[in-house]
């Protein structure tokens, strides 16, 4: 793997970059096998919908734990599952890179370190990680957003690493980007609510921007592909209406040298983030 000058220019121009066959089929299968075990490991009392994250202590305390977040239509009024167990989860996060041996191995892989080095990072650290389910027929959309809205540093430095564990197609909800949108700053932030009397623990500091869907470029990729995403790049994925799942493993790296991690970010680690290397 080599980020040559032309590829670096592509990242600077578009705000994302695609690396096909970054992980081997065997490596991807190991990650997917580990991820597909999660629905059967989730305790019943932990059935928290991903849609409730702004008001749920379960979410805000998940930064240094492995926790389970269900699809909004997967849980009934009595906390019962309305879909097959294997199709019930939306995501698992946010400490897989620390607390799960398989995901720790592939997050702190030398290929990741080399890529961060070639991108010029001085002291990169992994802030969070997630196993993202996109189950057939139920996998919800991920609304248009910027990663830097959720993990903010000054200056902005977060880079998303998104690994396709299955083929990602237009039908099953592949990534979509607004090219060059990373050049326009962070549009809003998701922060800890300064009003401690409010039931909403987390809030957006501004209304949601309106993005024209016609401006998005579809980026279908094959299993084993790595997509790296600039902190300010606007991206999304649609609902999976197909009969095929579209799982992904994703983690976020921040620069810790010469930056300040925002004290009102939703994710506040009890200790420092694990560092990939130090120049």
Q: What are the chain's domains?
A: 5-24+93-261 (2.60.120.620)
- CA dist 61 and 237 (Å) reads 26
What is the band of 50 on the pLDDT scale with cuts at 50, 70, 90? low
CA 202 to chain centre: 18
Q: What is the mean pLDDT of residues 47-72?
A: 80
Q: Residue 52's pLDDT is what?
A: 62
Q: Is the pLDDT of residue 168 over 80?
A: yes
Is beta strand 16-19 parallel, antiparallel or unpaired with respect to 159-164?
unpaired
Range among 3-17, 73-87, 99-113, 196-210 with highest mean pLDDT value? 99-113
The helix (H) or strand (E) run that includes residue 18 is strand 16-19
Q: What percent of the chain has pLDDT over 70?
A: 96
Q: Residue 7's pLDDT is what?
A: 79
Tokens at residue 73, please?
A: 């239509």
Q: Residue 46's pLDDT is what?
A: 73
Contacts with 213 (C-beta within 8 Å, 6 or more apart), sequence order: none
Q: Is the pLDDT of residue 32 over 70?
A: yes
Q: Residue 48's pLDDT is what?
A: 66
Is beta strand 159-164 parallel, antiparallel or unpaired with respect to 226-230?
antiparallel
Q: What is the mean pLDDT of residues 231-236?
A: 99
| Per-residue pLDDT tens digits for 99-115 | 999 999 999 999 999 99
Global pTM value: 0.95
Is beta strand 89-94 parallel, antiparallel or unpaired with respect to 66-70?
antiparallel
Tokens at residue 8, please?
A: 């670096």
Nearest alpha carbon to residue 163 among 89, 107, 108: 107
Q: Residue 77's pLDDT is what?
A: 85
Output 232 or 9, whichever has higher pLDDT: 232
- Give yes or no for a contact between 93 and 239, defined as CB atoms under 8 angstroms apart: no
- Give yes or no for a contact between 123 and 110, defined as CB atoms under 8 angstroms apart: no
CB atoms within 10 A of CB 23: 22
Contacts with 42 (C-beta within 8 Å, 6 or more apart), sequence order: 68, 70, 88, 89
- Give yes or no for a contact between 176 and 238, defined as CB atoms under 8 angstroms apart: yes
- CA dist 181 and 235 (Å) reads 9
Q: 67-106 burial, b for 16+ CB within 10 Å, e for fewer?
A: bbbbbeebbeeeeebebeeebbbbbbbbbbbbebebbbeb
Q: Is the pLDDT of residue 157 over 90?
A: yes
Is beta strand 190-192 parallel, antiparallel or unpaired with respect to 159-164?
unpaired
Q: Is the pLDDT of residue 51 over 60?
A: no
Output 269 or 181, whichever has higher pLDDT: 181
Q: Determine phi and psi for 132, rounding to 5 degrees.
A: -105, 120
Q: How many CA atoms lie within 13 A of 270 on its CB side?
A: 7
Q: What is the mean pLDDT of residues 57-69?
A: 92
């Amino acid at each position: 793997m080599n980020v040559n000058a032309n590829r670096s220019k592509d990242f600077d121009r578009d705000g994302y970059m695609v690396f096909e066959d970054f992980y081997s089929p065997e490596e991807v299968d190991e990650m997917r096998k580990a991820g597909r075990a999660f629905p059967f490991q989730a305790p019943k009392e932990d059935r928290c919908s991903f849609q409730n994250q702004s008001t749920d202590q379960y979410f805000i305390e998940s930064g240094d734990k492995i926790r389970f977040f269900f699809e909004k239509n997967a849980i009934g009024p009595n906390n019962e599952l309305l879909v097959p167990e294997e199709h019930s989860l939306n995501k698992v996060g946010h400490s897989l890179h620390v607390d799960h041996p398989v995901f720790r191995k592939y997050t702190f892989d030398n290929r990741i370190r080399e890529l961060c080095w070639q991108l010029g990072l001085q002291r990169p650290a992994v802030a969070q990680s997630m196993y993202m389910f996109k189950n057939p027929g139920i996998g919800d959309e991920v609304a248009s957003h910027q990663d830097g809205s959720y993990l903010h540093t000054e200056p902005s430095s977060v880079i998303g690493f998104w690994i396709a564990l299955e083929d990602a197609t237009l039908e099953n909800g592949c990534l979509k980007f607004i090219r060059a949108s990373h050049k326009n700053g962070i549009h809003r932030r998701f922060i800890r609510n300064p009003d401690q009397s409010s039931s909403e623990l987390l809030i957006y500091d501004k209304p949601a921007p309106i993005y024209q869907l016609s401006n998005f470029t579809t980026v279908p990729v094959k299993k084993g592909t790595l997509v790296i995403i600039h902190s300010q790049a606007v991206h999304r994925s649609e609902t999976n209406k197909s009969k095929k799942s579209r799982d992904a493993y994703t983690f976020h790296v921040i620069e810790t040298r010469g930056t300040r991690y925002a004290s009102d970010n939703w994710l506040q680690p009890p200790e420092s983030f694990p560092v990939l290397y130090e120049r």
